[in-house]
Each structure stands twice: as structure tokens, then as C-alpha cells.
Structure 1
Amino acid sequence: MAAREIGTWCSCRVCSEIRSTIDRITRVLEIYGWMLDAYVVDFFQDNVWQKVPKCWTNFLDGASPEELGNWMLKESGSKLVWPLSLLALRAFIESVEIPRDHKGTSKFKCSSDDTRFVNELVTDDEKKAGVLGQFANLFTKHVKKKKRYEIDVLSQIAAKCANAAGCKCIVDIGAGMGHLARALAYGHQLCVVCVEQNESLLETARKWDEQLKVSITKHVSDFSGKKPQHVSLLVGVTRAARQQLANQLSGIFVEKFHDNSGFGLIGLHPCGDLAATLLKFYASEEKARFICIVGCCYMKLTMGDNTDRGYPMSQYLLENNNYELSYAAMEVACHAIEKHCDKLKASDYSDLKVHAYRAVLECLLIEKNPSLRHAQLKSTKIKLDTTFREYCSSVTANLDVQHQPTKADVESDVVKSFLEQWKRVLIFASLRLFIAPLVESLVLFDRFLYLSELNLSPSLKAEFDSRVSPRNILLVSTKKKTDTLSKLDSYVD
């Protein structure tokens, strides 16, 4: 098969399906996207419940949160006859979203041989092998359970990518205290450079590097793992900044590790535009041989006509859809639908009633001063027996006294009427989470096509348990050893 020209659309079945899926998602969001754009806090102020389809509200008023939780997770047990339009929407979302089951084999992969379903799961034997498996308790010191799990999975995948790309060097962007870097360096014997702006985190990382190496050496006298290098470098968005960063990183790998074979890029939940910057860096720099990133904080993406935008990135979306996503839609796509539904199913949603409390309080604040709409309030944890008055007193403590709700305010008949509708507020918040996977899929498909258009063969697959790590879909691309990037300059901003 002849090589595809960079900048043209890939004709493989997977990329063709993704472009079609993007078109379908945008059409559905034109109908139901308003729910994602709406803020739950405005539920009463904007009379949101009246905007939801009448057949839905009539039905949902009679359904329990427990039944809704089961239905959203597509679990059996409900004997209710759900509205056909809701059933159709659920079937559509299931057909177009990126599957979130990390145990499944479903994987979107751009390839000339048209292979969509590829299983590259790490085996149990591989998990137990090596220093990382033998002395797991040493590596997990200082690390919380969620991060420990993510590091275990991502370090193994990154090591496989490094082997496939023919390089032993990895750059961890936003490395923090270096937990992932130590797993890669000491557990997989890779050369790792950590880029972190916070000097305090850098110092802590260096200290823990040394402590871990000393601990391992007590058990393995001939241990040869190389300590990660922690540096503070600018990860810029311009082409000149990316080139400077590539030169700096190459210099460090040559000086510290005597290796000039190139490096891989990893990012465990890079925030907002950082993920897009890493993708552009990978695409434009020949020394960058592979990339593994799990996105996060989509609401912080720069959108629109800005050349430094984080969304959309692909020419397909720019030329054919350019579907704009609101801050609210991007923000709700960062939440865990599985954990939310688990609470609904278990009738453990007392803390979720805070949505209703906040929506009622919004009306009181706007009545006192319209400029207080969407005001930043103090955060508080709501308990089972927390009253609305107690809630208001706690979260408005940072406001001027004249703006804080009075006893008469919170005990008015209007407020009591609103509070009785707490279930409607909860259901609307749940509906937003139900539709939100369309947003995350759209953002990740856009990144997939961006790499595909540059002939960089991306793949997308859920690799983390979504109940442990809600943003669980990994975007991976590995360059062939013969790849040349000389034609990319005109296609990468």
C-alpha cells in the first residue's frame, strides 16, 4: 500500500467511522446539548425543568433515583416502561462513546490493515516481574491508592511503548513528586527526565528518588537503575518553544544517560491545553518517538480561532464541524458517571442534595444582588442531617452580611416549595452526566484524528478502572523507526 500523504484524511475503516461518529455526535448535541450548557445552579432561576422534554419529566417524576442509576448504567432490574426517546438516546450514546470498560478489548486504532480491535493488556506475569513487582511496597510509599493504581498501569504501558519505539528514554511532563518516574526508572530500567515547574515538588522528588534507591540496593546489591533527572523547563506552545524544549531534553539525555535515540512523552492527566501542547510537540519533533497521555480538565481547553487552541485540533473538525463546546459541557465531562450512579443505586445520595440547596440559594442571592449570580462561595460538606439554613450560613460566610440569607429568607414558602423539588434537581444533574460521554468522546476523537491526519497512527482505549480513575482513556501513538517528520512543519501550529 502506498504511503499516505501527511495532511490527508486516513481512509482506514476506523478513521472513517470516527469521522462519521463525530458528525452524528454533533447532530445529537444540537438537540440535547443545551442540558450540558445549563448549570444545575440555575435550575430554578432559569426554570430548567420546564425545558426538559415533557414525556421525560412526566416519567421521571415517577421514577426513583435508584431506578435511574440502574438504567443509566444499563443494568437490569427496572420494570418501568421508559420513554422511547430516552431509550433511543441511551442506545445512541452507547454506540458512539469510547467504551469505558478497562477490562474489555475494544480499542480504536488507526492502521492501514484496518484493525480496530486490538488487545495489548498487560498480563499478570508481567505485573509480577522485575523490581517493581518484587518490591511494590517500597514504590508505593508516599503514594495514595488511586495514584498507585494509575502508576502501575501506565508505567507498564509506557515501557511497552518505549520498547516498540526503540528508545529507552522517557519525559514525564508535570511529574510532580516523581512517583511515576521512579516506577519507570527503577522498576523498568528506563532513563527518565521529569519536567515540573514547582521547585518544592522537585526537591521532594529528588529526596524520595535517593531514599528509594537506597532501599532497593539493600535487597538487590547489583541494582543498576538510573535516578530520574528532575528539571524545570518551559513547555511552550509556539514552534520555537517546542524546538527549544526538544533540544534541552536531548541535551539532558546525552549528558546524563549517554543516549541520543529519542524519547517518549507521557502525561498522567495533563490539565487543559497541556495535553494539546504535548501532542503538537510529539507531532513536530523527530526526537519524540511515542506519546501516552490520559486527558483531564477539558473545561480549561482554549477554544475558538486562537492558534494556540486546545480544541478543536483536527482539520476535520475545523473544516467540517468546528462544533463549539461550552465551559459547562467540558466541565461535566470530567466527572465520574459510574460513581454517581452507584450512589443513586445504593440510595446513598444525601450529599448530592447539595445541588438542590445550591440552586435554591442562587435565587436568594440574585434577589439580594444580581451581581452575585454564580458567585464563588465557600465549599462545605453536606451531611445527612444538614439543614438548608445551616448550609446557607456555612457557604455564604465569605459574603457581606447584607448579602447573606436571613432566617425569614430560608423559611419562606417559595424556598420550601423549591426544596421539595430536590429530586428533580438531582435527576437533571444525572441527565447531564448521562449525556456527558458524548463530549469526552468528541474531544478525544478530535485528538485521534489530529494524529491520524499527520500519519502518526494513534489508538484510544480505556486502561484504568473508571470507578478508581474516572478519566481513564489513554491516547497512544508510536512512531515507526523509519518515520521522518520533515513534512510536518506546515501542518503543526
Structure 2
Amino acid sequence: MVPIDANDLRGLLAFVHTYANLYETLNVEFFSARVFERIDAEWLSFLCRLDSAQLNMVPVEFEQYPDCPASLKHFFASARRFSLLDKYSTPFVDRQHTNKYSSPEQLRKVKRKKAHELGAFSELLRAECAPLGIDRVVDIGCGLGHLGRVLRLNNNESLQQQQTSNDNNSSLRLDYVGIEANPSLCHSARQNDLKMENIVFGSGIGHDDGSSSSSEQCRNILTLPGCRTAIVSLHGCGELQRQILLEFVAMCKQQTAEHPKLLVTVGCCYHKLSDWTDSAIERWMLSSQMRDLFLHTFGHNHFPIPGLRLACQATLVRWMAFTEQQHTAHRQAFANRAFVECLRIHKTAATKAKSANDVPHRHSSNIANCEKVDDNDHNGGGDLLQMHQRRPPRKLNKCMLANNNLDEFRTEVMRRSAIVEEERDEFEQTLDQIMDTYSPAVHFIEPFTALQFALQCPLESLVLLDRLLFLRENGIGGAELVRLFDPAISPRCVAIVARVNE
């Protein structure tokens, strides 16, 4: 296992702290918070001169540009230096000297990305389970149980391969149990004869919240006597990976014969915390060493949640492959949402002003209740300008992705916003003013995105190295990061693997 150099952690945190202006604000606030004014003007001037193909490659080919500002070259070089996942992870394919993953072609309605993930994950799981004598897998946040179906296929195939293959894993058979909080997903999985438990994992685990029933139920499943169990989770969303790590460490410390012997987990959506407004690092950061270094570097214990969102966006590899059409679509979708956010702020302020002056309008929409709008509603049933509990609305991404017609954009925004007829002219004028004011800044969107893509890997390095350190700090020396998926296909491509020494 590669020890983590404390100097790398200090440098990573210093770099992330220095360039916080590039991720501390939601992208939807690019205009309303005037984020473009926080970016070095010399950087923007240079980046705006590049065509799309050059913009794709400048994060890695910056040294080829004599007119690239020295400070921008330093940023790109530092971003490359502190993209630490390659340094502190092991490539699974190279380690196994094979490019052959289990192929789940027999799984119906599975897209290419999911098929790639299931094949690689199941192959890693089998490679890890065989030496440890694992015979049972508990899949937390299992969704429809696709992994269970792949493992069942592998079990059937192993019977045929056992006599003809020298593979040590060919005789491996793994029982499967899925844990899923969504009852409808559980029902669908059970129709495929998979063993499923409808439990909200994490309730009461690692916390004194009184949810002892769910916690005890999870513990009973994870510590079944007479079995050697592996805990797995493929792209467990939000806080799930953190909760799994806490539970795994707690069970290992009990040193019972039944505690799980292996953990294999790939996380995603690090920013989807239960409380979007609480930015304290204790919400997601686990390692004592990382917390201490963070406090020393930042001088406080708050980390912008949008930084966690950037940590789990697409990787630089994806950006380098962007086509001209993708740039156009991204720029317009980004701008559409930012325009709407400005209008939402205006509407919220107007509503508050009316309330303060005791001039209620019986037909006006109620912004104060902050009810979440259904993102699947494209028929005007909700209020596009209503504040979401978690984040501003994403609706324009789905139905206006490549719409460059401003008249159509204005009409669609008005149609899908709860604005009474007598206020319509005022809001149309306001939207026109917003677009007139910020349209020149649309030119800065793709350069800004290039800078964010350069930051993505350092930010994800911060998240995953913290989790790796946490395991090692708690006596699980057999913990490592494994590069598992092709990042061009599946951006969250690094697995945390923890083996319990006996």
C-alpha cells in the first residue's frame, strides 16, 4: 500500500484554497453573483482567444502557448501536480494483467455505461473475494439489483469453467443480498428472484438519532453468522459512502468473527448532503489528519458545497473530447439557467417587498414556502422561478438544451413561471434587461468551464484521500484506491477497497 505523503496533502489543500473563487459559488449564479468578475482578466482574455479545440486541450497543453499568462500556466501545472488519484491508486487491469471483464450482455435494458461498470466491478469483486474466502455479498444502495444478476450469471458460469480453466476464481460462488431504501426498486428486483431488504441504510448508524431499529436490522444482515461477508456499493449516492465507511470501521473495531472481511465501494454525487446549507467539513470529511490540515490551511471549518459538486462532475478526459456542438449546447444551457436565476432573484425580492408593504395579491405564487418543483414537469404545471430546497432549478437543461432563439427562450420562461397576467409585461422587461446585461458574459462560460475541469481531479483527490486516510487511521491497513472504470465512460471511476487483516 502506498503511504500518503503529508506534503502532498498540504499542497493539495493550499491549491484548493487558493483557487476557491472557481468553485465556491453555484454555477447557476454565474451572472447573479458576477462570478466572471472574480476570474483573472488576463486569464479570460487569453482563454477567449482560443477556439473550441484549443480550449479542450489547454489544461494539458498550456506550455505550448507563449502568450499564456504565467499565473495561468502555474494554475494548470499545479492542477496537474495535485491531481493525486493516479499517484495514490492502483489500476485494476494492469494489476490483473487482463483486459477481460465479466460481460453482462444478458442483462436487458442496461446501457453501455452501466454494462461497463457492472462488468469491471464484478470482476474486481471476484478477484478480491477469492483470496479472502468471501462467500456472501451485501450490496448497499443496490437499486434494481443489476449487480446481483451479474453475480448470479457468474455463479452459473463458474460451474462450467471449473474443469476447463486454471483461473483461481472460477469456482467462486457468491450469495447476494441487496439493501435498498426505495420500495419500488426493491419490488422490481424481487421480481427477478433477488434477495432484497427494504431498509434506509445509515439511519442510526454512526449517529445518535434514535433510529436503532434500522441500525440493528442492518447490522444483523451485515454480520450473518457462519458467513464471510463483503460489503459493496456501486455508485452509492450522496452521504451513503461516508455512512458505509463509518459502519464498516465500527464493525471491524468490535473484532467479532462475523464482521465483514472486505469493503468495495465506488461513490458518486458527493455534494448531495441531507442539509444543502450546512458547509461544515464534519458533514463529509472523515480523516482526523485531513481535518487538522484543512483547519490549518483554511483557518475555519467550512468548505463550499459547490466544490463537492465539482469533485463529482465529468473528468478532464471528457472535456478534452468535447465537440463544437457540445460546447454550443453546454454554453446555452449554462446561460439559460443563469438568466433564470437572475429572474428568480428579482421575483423573490419583489414578492418580499409586497409582503413587507402589506399588499397581498391573491393570485401571486407563494415563493416563501420553497416547495420543490417536479423536474419532470414540462407542461407549465410548476413555477420555474420557485426556489428549490437543494439547489436552483435545472428544468431548462432538459427541454431547451440547444435553444439559441432568445424570443422562444423568453416565451418558454414566461409560460412556465407562475406570473399573473398583469405582472407579465414587467417580468418580460426584466428578463430582457437581464439578458442585455449579461449576454456579453456568455462568452466567458466555456473558458470558466475549462478552469473548472482542471480543478475537478484535485477536488476529487481531496474527497477520496480523506476517506482512504480514515480507514488507515482506524487500523485498516489493507485499504487502497483502485482505478476501475474508463473515465471517458464512467467519471466516478475509483473504488475504495478495504481488506480486513485477520
| TM score, norm. by length of structure 1 | 0.76
1:443-486 deviations in whole A, cap 9, x for unaligned? 11100000111121311132111121111111111112x2xxxx
Please name the residue that 2:158 is paired with. Answer: none
Please name the residue that 1:231 is paired with. Answer: 197
Matched, 1:317 2:290: yes
Q: 2:185 aligns with which of 178, 195, 201?
A: 201
Contact 2:4–2:88, Cα closer than 8 Å, also in 1 = no
1:218-259 deviations in whole A, cap 9, x for unaligned? xxxxxxxxxx422223423435665552223444xx6xxxxx
Please name the residue that 2:34 is paired with. Answer: 47
199 and 83 in structure 1: CA distance in 2 versus 1, 3 angstrom threshold: same
424 and 60 in structure 1: CA distance in 2 versus 1, 3 angstrom threshold: same
Matches within 5 A, 1:45-444: 45-72=32-59, 74=60, 79=65, 81-99=67-85, 107-108=88-89, 119-121=94-96, 123-124=98-99, 127=101, 136-138=104-106, 140-188=107-155, 189-209=173-193, 228-236=194-202, 237-238=204-205, 242=215, 244-251=217-224, 260-286=226-252, 287-301=259-273, 309-322=282-295, 324-338=302-316, 341-342=319-320, 344=322, 346=324, 348-352=326-330, 353-370=332-349, 375-376=392-393, 378-379=395-396, 380-382=398-400, 384-395=402-413, 397-402=415-420, 406-412=427-433, 415-416=435-436, 418-444=438-464
177 and 359 in structure 1: CA distance in 2 versus 1, 3 angstrom threshold: closer
Report the Cα distance in structure 1 between the residues aligned to 2:47 and 2:335, rounded to whole angstroms: 16
Deviation at 1:290, TM superposition (A): 0.7
Contact 2:403–2:409, Cα closer than 8 Å, also in 1 = no
Deviation at 1:122, TM superposition (A): 6.2
Report the Cα distance in structure 1 between the residues aligned to 2:199 and 2:230, rounded to whole angstroms: 16
Matched, 1:35 2:19: no
CA-based RMSD: 3.3
79 and 432 in structure 1: CA distance in 2 versus 1, 3 angstrom threshold: closer
Report the Cα distance in structure 1 between the residues aligned to 2:49 and 2:98, rounded to whole angstroms: 47
Q: Which amino acid is the alignment partner of residue 386 of structure 1? A: N
SS at match of 2:95: coil
Report the Cα distance in structure 1 between the residues aligned to 2:280 and 2:50, rounded to whole angstroms: 47
Deviation at 1:20, TM superposition (A): 2.4
Report the Cα distance in structure 1 between the residues aligned to 2:12 and 2:411, rounded to whole angstroms: 42
SS at match of 1:15: coil
45 and 418 in structure 1: CA distance in 2 versus 1, 3 angstrom threshold: same
95 and 247 in structure 1: CA distance in 2 versus 1, 3 angstrom threshold: same
Report the Cα distance in structure 2 between the residues aligned to 1:168 and 1:264, rounded to whole angstroms: 8
Deviation at 1:350, TM superposition (A): 1.7
- How many aligned positions are there? 422
* 5+ residue gaps, structure 2: 156-172, 207-211, 253-258, 296-300, 353-384
1:374-424 deviations in whole A, cap 9, x for unaligned? 753633333545312322433454422257675544545x63352233221
Report the Cα distance in structure 1 between the residues aligned to 2:205 and 2:279, rounded to whole angstroms: 12
Deviation at 1:166, TM superposition (A): 1.9
Contact 1:267–1:292, Cα closer than 8 Å, also in 2 = yes
Please name the residue that 2:487 is paired with. Answer: 466
Deviation at 1:148, TM superposition (A): 1.0
Report the Cα distance in structure 2 between the residues aligned to 1:338 and 1:300, rounded to whole angstroms: 22
1:179-215 deviations in whole A, cap 9, x for unaligned? 1111123314311111112232223223234xxxxxx
Report the Cα distance in structure 2 between the residues aligned to 1:470 and 1:163, rounded to whole angstroms: 28
Contact 2:281–2:303, Cα closer than 8 Å, also in 1 = no
Q: Give identity over the alignment, percent.
A: 23
Please name the residue that 1:3 is paired with. Answer: none
Contact 1:302–1:309, Cα closer than 8 Å, also in 2 = no
Report the Cα distance in structure 2 between the residues aligned to 1:472 and 1:355, rounded to whole angstroms: 25
SS at match of 1:288: coil
54 and 455 in structure 1: CA distance in 2 versus 1, 3 angstrom threshold: same
Q: Which amino acid is the alignment partner of residue 68 of structure 1? A: L
Report the Cα distance in structure 1 between the residues aligned to 2:441 and 2:33, rounded to whole angstroms: 15
Contact 2:136–2:228, Cα closer than 8 Å, also in 1 = yes
Report the Cα distance in structure 1 between the residues aligned to 2:455 and 2:64, rounded to whole angstroms: 20
Deviation at 1:321, TM superposition (A): 2.1
Please name the residue that 2:209 is paired with. Answer: none
Contact 2:28–2:392, Cα closer than 8 Å, also in 1 = no
* 5+ residue gaps, structure 1: 1-11, 101-105, 110-115, 210-227, 255-259, 483-493
Report the Cα distance in structure 1 between the residues aligned to 2:264 and 2:307, rounded to whole angstroms: 25
1:141-181 deviations in whole A, cap 9, x for unaligned? 13222111100000010111111322111101111111111
312 and 428 in structure 1: CA distance in 2 versus 1, 3 angstrom threshold: same
Please name the residue that 1:491 is paired with. Answer: none
184 and 107 in structure 1: CA distance in 2 versus 1, 3 angstrom threshold: farther
State which drifts further: 54-63 or 140-149: 54-63
Contact 2:89–2:481, Cα closer than 8 Å, also in 1 = yes
Contact 2:28–2:341, Cα closer than 8 Å, also in 1 = yes
Q: Which amino acid is the alignment partner of residue 136 of structure 2? A: C
Contact 1:314–1:446, Cα closer than 8 Å, also in 2 = yes
274 and 164 in structure 1: CA distance in 2 versus 1, 3 angstrom threshold: same
Q: Which amino acid is the alignment partner of residue 120 of structure 1? A: R
SS at match of 2:476: coil
Report the Cα distance in structure 1 between the residues aligned to 2:152 and 2:248, rounded to whole angstroms: 21
